[in-house]
């Protein structure tokens, strides 16, 4: 079967080419699949990478591997090139029954694109959703190492930012410092994975708060959610502390933050020795060895989420997912929630777990760790 890929993250995964504008179609990929749902890269028999001539220079050098580059000259129609390849591909007889079937990604292709292809293709066009979800969920050792480096860089920058907190500094100023550090020329290959969240005081009760000119004052909760990207692979960490609290403020913060820590401890105990923290740096906190969950099989996202919610307490129902996969996208599969379809861990997943409690008027505590599931 043949699949036309338009999702820019799937294209990067297969070819190393990332569009510099995700709202613009800068390339397409045609895959010939051995199995209807690929679970490993060897299930993809052939890859053709279509690049308009104006973007071809941005592609990685042709290494002669399984990816065959096709440069689209001005005036050349993608539909004609795709039909020509499918009809002449080895194994497809020109006398075979037509039309051939081309599958596309309905979660990514625009309606007008589908209509245009239908009008120009002498073949059937069928949707095929979620084709690469499982394939990208399980990372190679090389992908895991890139995420590990991104996670460790994220933690290093966070520790540096803490040293510069002072009364009167604003959320926007802290955010700017984070972005500057993450894109420092002293660390080539790194950049910010997303727009950092910096929230002081009651603002930390807003899960996706946008930084403002609010100034930091003594006793404020400080929530920072940030992540580095390393050569296209992303980390996502969140830390919460309290700035120069009184004894009573510290005690209240400790009581509430302990709920979140307990949720992460429950997750670690459940996953056992299969889970390895990626966002730990030398001289930082140590990950305690834990083999207690290693004999439990299978590990599922539903049970993992339920255990974390139980540790938080039913009086603190989480208003977002308990976590998500990490990789080429900051949020990708698996989705970690006790709602919807459960996912069974297979080995190779990299996930961010982010239990939290939010109390309007006071603030919130969210702690997000990055794990590799072996």
Q: Same structural domain for residues 176 and 104?
A: no
* Percentage helix, strand, coil for the chain under 3-state DSSP, each rounded to 5: 30, 25, 45
Q: Same structural domain for residues 144 and 132?
A: no
Q: Same structural domain for residues 173 and 309?
A: yes
Kindly tell me the sign of the dihedral angle through the C-alpha atoms of 364, 343, 139, 22. negative
Q: Same structural domain for residues 368 and 284?
A: yes
Q: Could you tell me where the DSSP H helices lie in the chain?
A: 8-15, 53-56, 78-88, 111-120, 133-137, 141-163, 171-182, 247-271, 301-312
**What residue numbers bound the domain in which 346 lies?**
138-373
CA distance 111 to 119: 13
Which of the listed residues 78, 102, 136 is the one where a domain comes to its end? 136
Q: Same structural domain for residues 299 and 356?
A: yes
Count of other CB atoms within 10 angstroms of residue 149: 19
- For residue 108, the SS3 value is coil
Q: Same structural domain for residues 77 and 30?
A: yes
Q: Same structural domain for residues 158 and 144?
A: yes
For residue 167, what is the DSSP state?
Answer: T
Q: Same structural domain for residues 238 and 312?
A: yes
Which of the listed residues 102, 136, 170 is the one where a domain comes to its end? 136
pLDDT, tens digit only, all 374 positions of the chain: 899 999 999 999 999 999 999 889 999 999 998 877 777 788 888 999 999 999 988 886 655 557 999 999 999 999 999 989 988 886 665 545 455 789 999 999 988 889 888 888 878 899 998 888 889 999 999 999 999 999 999 999 999 999 999 999 999 999 999 999 999 999 999 999 999 999 999 999 999 999 999 999 999 999 999 999 999 999 999 999 999 999 999 999 999 999 999 999 999 999 999 999 999 997 656 555 455 554 557 899 999 999 999 999 999 999 999 999 999 999 999 999 999 899 999 999 999 999 999 999 999 999 999 999 99
pLDDT of residue 92: 60
Q: Same structural domain for residues 111 and 148?
A: no
pLDDT of residue 93: 54
Q: Same structural domain for residues 200 and 112?
A: no
As given in the structure block, the two tokens for residue 2 are 């043949």
Q: Same structural domain for residues 116 and 15?
A: yes
First to last CA, the chain: 31
CA distance 16 to 69: 12
Residue 12 maps to which CATH number?
A: 3.40.350.10
Could you read off the pLDDT of 179-216 as tens digits, one per residue?
999 999 999 999 999 999 999 999 999 999 999 999 99
Task: Assess contact for 177 and 157: CB atoms under 8 A.
Answer: no
Q: Tell me if the pTM is above 0.85.
A: yes
Contacts 24+ apart (CB under 8 A), 59-64: 59/15, 59/16, 59/17, 59/27, 60/15, 60/16, 60/17
Residue 359 maps to which CATH number?
A: 3.90.230.10
How would you classify the pairing of strands 275-277 and 323-325? unpaired
CA distance 225 to 238: 4
Going by C-alpha positions, the residue among 273, 280, 244, 234 that lies closest to residue 167 is: 244
pLDDT of residue 69: 93
Domain count along the chain: 2
Q: Same structural domain for residues 75 and 168?
A: no
Q: Which residues are CB-neighbours of 86 under 8 A, at least 6 positions away?
A: 2, 30, 92, 100, 102, 123
- For residue 68, the SS3 value is strand
Contacts 24+ apart (CB under 8 A), 218-221: 218/167, 218/243, 218/244, 218/245, 219/243, 219/244, 219/245, 219/246, 219/249, 220/363, 221/253, 221/362, 221/363, 221/364, 221/365
Which of the listed residues 136, 163, 179 is the one where a domain comes to its end? 136
């Amino acid at each position: 079967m043949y699949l036309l890929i338009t999702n820019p993250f799937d294209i990067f995964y297969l070819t190393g080419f990332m569009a510099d504008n995700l709202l613009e179609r800068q390339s397409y990929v045609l895959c010939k699949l051995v199995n209807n749902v690929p679970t490993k890269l060897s299930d993809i028999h052939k890859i053709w990478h279509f690049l308009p001539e104006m973007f071809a220079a941005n592609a990685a050098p042709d290494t002669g591997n399984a990816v065959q580059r096709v440069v689209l000259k001005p005036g050349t129609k993608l539909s004609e090139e795709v039909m020509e390849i499918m009809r002449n591909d080895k194994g497809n007889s020109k006398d075979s029954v037509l039309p051939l079937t081309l599958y596309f990604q309905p979660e990514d292709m625009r309606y007008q694109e589908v209509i245009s292809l239908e009008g120009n293709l002498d073949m059937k066009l069928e949707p095929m959703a979620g084709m690469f979800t499982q394939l990208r969920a399980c990372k190679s050792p090389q992908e895991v190492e890139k995420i590990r480096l991104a996670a460790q860089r994220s933690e290093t920058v966070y520790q540096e930012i803490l040293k510069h907190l002072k009364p009167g500094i604003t959320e926007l100023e802290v955010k700017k410092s984070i972005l500057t550090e993450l894109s420092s020329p002293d660390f080539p290959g790194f950049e910010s994975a997303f727009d950092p969240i910096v929230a002081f005081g009651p603002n930390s009760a807003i899960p996706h708060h946008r930084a403002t000119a609010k100034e930091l004052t003594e006793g404020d909760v400080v929530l920072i959610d940030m992540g580095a990207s390393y050569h296209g692979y992303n980390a996502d960490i969140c830390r919460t502390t309290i700035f120069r609290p009184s004894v009573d403020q510290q005690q209240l913060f400790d009581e509430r933050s302990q709920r979140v820590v307990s949720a992460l401890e429950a997750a670690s105990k459940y996953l056992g020795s299969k889970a390895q923290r990626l966002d730990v740096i030398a001289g930082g906190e140590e990950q305690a060895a834990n083999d207690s969950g290693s004999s439990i099989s299978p590990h599922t996202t539903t049970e993992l989420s339920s255990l974390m919610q139980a540790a938080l307490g039913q009086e603190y129902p989480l208003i977002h997912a308990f976590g998500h996969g990490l990789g080429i996208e900051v949020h990708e599969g698996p989705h970690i929630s006790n709602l919807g379809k459960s996912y069974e861990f297979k080995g190779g997943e990299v996930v961010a777990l982010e239990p939290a409690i939010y109390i309007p008027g006071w603030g919130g505590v969210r702690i997000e760790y990055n794990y590799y599931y072996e």
